Structure 1
Amino acid sequence: MINNTENFIFNFCVFIVIFLFQIAKPKITRKEIYFGIRIPENERDNALLKKVYNRYLILNTVIFGIFIVIIMYIFLNYYASIEYTILILLYLLFTLIIYMFSNKKVFKIKQKQCWNSEKKQIVTIDTNFSKDKSTKSLVSPWWFFVSVLMIAITFYIGFKYYNFLPEIVPTHWDFAGEVNGNMIKSSKIIYVIPKFQVVFLIIFFGLYKVIGWGKQQLNTSSPQQSKEKNKRFRYIWSGYMVFAATIINLFFLYTNLIIFQVAQLSGKSMIILLIIIISILAAVFIYLSIYTGQGGSRLKIKDNVASNGNKMLDRNDDKYWKFGIFYINKEDATIFIEKRFGVGWTVNLGRMEGILLAVGVGILILIFPYILN
């Protein structure tokens, strides 16, 4: 048996994280949204809906078990890093199919129960929200200056210690901690790590801006409370983007110190450090997702304003959501809107800007490895 224990452990943990997040998703979406379908909030504990979730949980658990057995077989027989990647993509595909099956079931239940048909449906909007969200709903963008400062320090290290480098410089390590990547000494090595830092800084700052641009969604039954939850939700997640950008750039800064031999750390220790950082980011992401819920729906906020009760419901906009995933509404000028399943934002594919953004992100994902090469 080839010793690929570290690779196996890493991929095993990836599967566990995906599995836990998938089974938590239905619980962290807005209370009026169930598997991508808008329902009356007081029907969330409906026995039929619980049955859908239980089936969703069982299917996800079975698929998870099957894939764990497969990666165990790969681990016990041969080294297969590419196969692990393919398995993760296939696993995500199967979980998507399970979700779509659940989405269809909830839609049929909603039709059969005639929910929303006898109650007035309205849309609640706060026209002042967009005026103050950039200053009150997000952490200060100046926190990203910490990452900028670290990039500057990384450049400084490169220029200062370049002359002390050997002719062959180790720059990459595998899961066993062995060097599997080198660079011939040249001025290009000064820009290797800063390039990574700049790319990730742009990504996280872009996500930070999307949080501010995202469409505000208020719950008709308690609009004031919903507004405060949404503001706190954006503030928390904008803070996470700053945190993620900072910790990743800090890791790259330390990596640069090792490459230029200012600091000493074994290759295996570097891999362990990377796994720890990824684990921290994933753990914080999952914790915040469960703590806040989509749009801040799980946050506890006192509300002194009387609730509208069940007299009015949010507008039934299911027709704009394909499978509860793709938002297509030509009449909506908003580009960014909250996801209906899970936590985060998506784009309005009914607008050309949204289509171009979606295509651009897809292309970026495909060429991302070449950008960093």
Structure 2
Amino acid sequence: MELVNFIILVALILSGVLNNYFPIKGKKGILLGSIVEEEDKEKEPFSGIIKKYKIYNILACLLGCIFILIGIFLYNEIFQVIGLFTYIGLNFFILAHFNKKVKEAKKEIKTVKKQVAVVNMQSSKISSYMIIYYIFIAITFMAINIIAAVMKYKDLPERIAIHFNASGVADGWTNKSLIAILPLIITILFMILIYIGTDILIQKTSFKIDPKNSEESHKANLKSKKLVSIMMFITMIPVLISLTIGNFVTLTILPESYMKFVMYIPLITLLGVIGLTVILVKAKNNYKVKNNEVTYKNDDDYWKWGFVYYNKQNPNIFVEKRSGIGVTINAGTKVGMAIYIGIIILLMGSIIAPIIGALLK
């Protein structure tokens, strides 16, 4: 089994495990994208819904793995693509289906608790230390790659490799020129800006506070946001290392065989992200209930299928996710809807392109 196939298979299995955790335990008071009391999750009908959701999710994951394994043994990339996107698609449908079941079950339960919405509108700030770290890493990686390109340019062959397949073997070449080298360096700068921008976006997005213990919930949210900055910074470094290795191979500073090491980096990064995400979720939920007479305001109508936020009355383009960490897009805004359409187009392209490429071989 090639390393890239192993990574895809492991990533799919890990996704199945995480999708059995975050929609259920990701946030207090949230079950499968709907507002549900923590104590009610262990009672019927919610406990039964949770069991069925887990079974369906495991079956979807197994189906995806079967397609990927068929593709590996038949050396057919189409089956691997089908397997990966089959699970992704089924997972959305499964979550939407059981989100509907949770909403229906809630109608049968009468609650006398006062519904309260507490939101922290004050933007968090990235610490000065994190800004210094970002700037230091950005200058370091940019300087290394620019200096390497300047020093090695004269010695480059007339044709240089600019693209490598999933096995780390060069499959695209171009004539030696500055135009051929600059995109690699620009990509590194672009990735740094993406990480910094995403971090700032998360820090400035308002988040909900649990009315059952507003003070401790507020502190837990602030702590989780600081941990997000750390996670963003840590995960940025392996990405920049991968791009630098690719640049060095193109510049013939490193042999092509080093591209195989790049294949290990996504798997290691993925495992690290999972571990850090679990720590973040625990930090966000690390508080005890003090006032059990109140509950979250039921705004389920704004959450379509449990994961798409659509609220025309809310001018914010980004809002806090219902489960997991980070932010999601408000499809009720024009900009948010445009972003969703763009994402759908990109996803369709990523599905169709590999299939067409495999058919043309």
What is the aligned partner in structure 2 of residue 5 from structure 1?
Answer: 2
What is the aligned partner in structure 2 of residue 312 from structure 1?
Answer: 294
What is the aligned partner in structure 1 of residue 113 from structure 2?
Answer: 119
Alignment of 1:142 onto 2:132: yes
Does the CA contact (< 8 Å) of 1:7 and 1:81 recur in 2? no
The equivalent position to 2:44 in structure 1, one of 25, 44, 47, is 47
What is the aligned partner in structure 2 of residue 98 from structure 1?
Answer: 94
Distance 2:188 2:22 in 1: 31
The 3 A distance-change label for structure 1 pair 165 and 367 is farther
Structure 1 residue 362 displacement after superposition: 5.2
Distance 1:359 1:213 in 2: 24
Alignment of 1:234 onto 2:225: yes
The 3 A distance-change label for structure 1 pair 353 and 74 is closer
What is the aligned partner in structure 2 of residue 371 from structure 1?
Answer: none
Structure 1 residue 32 displacement after superposition: 0.3
* Count of residues paired in the alignment: 350
User: Which SS does the other structure have where 1:63 is aligned?
Assistant: helix
Distance 2:319 2:145 in 1: 36
Alignment of 1:345 onto 2:343: no
Distance 2:315 2:129 in 1: 26
Distance 1:335 1:101 in 2: 26
CA deviations over 1:246-269 (Å, ceiling 9, x no partner) = 2211221232223222234x42x4
Q: Map residues 59-70 of structure 1 onto 2, 5 A cutoff.
A: 59-70=56-67
What is the aligned partner in structure 2 of residue 200 from structure 1?
Answer: 191
Structure 1 residue 270 displacement after superposition: 1.8
In the alignment, residue 42 of structure 2 is paired with which amino acid?
Answer: D
Structure 1 residue 126 displacement after superposition: 4.4
What is the aligned partner in structure 1 of residue 106 from structure 2?
Answer: 110
What is the aligned partner in structure 1 of residue 158 from structure 2?
Answer: 167
Moved more, 155-164 or 145-154: 145-154
Distance 1:177 1:332 in 2: 46
Distance 1:86 1:199 in 2: 31
Distance 2:191 2:76 in 1: 28
CA deviations over 1:272-298 (Å, ceiling 9, x no partner) = x2232111221122112222228x433
What is the aligned partner in structure 2 of residue 277 from structure 1?
Answer: 265
What is the aligned partner in structure 2 of residue 220 from structure 1?
Answer: 211
The equivalent position to 2:23 in structure 1, one of 21, 26, 32, is 26
In angstroms, what is the RMSD of aligned CA positions?
Answer: 2.7
In the alignment, residue 112 of structure 1 is paired with which amino acid?
Answer: E
Structure 1 residue 56 displacement after superposition: 1.3
In the alignment, residue 322 of structure 1 is paired with which amino acid?
Answer: K
Structure 1 residue 191 displacement after superposition: 0.8
User: Which SS does the other structure have where 2:172 is aligned?
Assistant: strand
Does the CA contact (< 8 Å) of 2:168 and 2:263 recur in 1? no
Does the CA contact (< 8 Å) of 2:318 and 2:330 recur in 1? yes
Does the CA contact (< 8 Å) of 1:147 and 1:245 recur in 2? no
The 3 A distance-change label for structure 1 pair 291 and 213 is same
Structure 1 residue 203 displacement after superposition: 2.2
Give me the identity figure in percent. Answer: 21
Structure 1 residue 24 displacement after superposition: 2.0
The 3 A distance-change label for structure 1 pair 367 and 7 is closer
User: Which SS does the other structure have where 1:221 is aligned?
Assistant: helix
The 3 A distance-change label for structure 1 pair 358 and 180 is same
Alignment of 1:289 onto 2:277: yes
Alignment gaps of 5+ in structure 1: 369-373
In the alignment, residue 195 of structure 2 is paired with which amino acid?
Answer: F
Distance 1:76 1:360 in 2: 34
Structure 1 residue 142 displacement after superposition: 3.1
Distance 1:22 1:55 in 2: 13
The 3 A distance-change label for structure 1 pair 139 and 235 is farther
The 3 A distance-change label for structure 1 pair 188 and 143 is same
What is the aligned partner in structure 1 of residue 149 from structure 2?
Answer: 158
Calculate the TM-score normalised by the size of structure 2.
Answer: 0.87
In the alignment, residue 223 of structure 2 is paired with which amino acid?
Answer: R
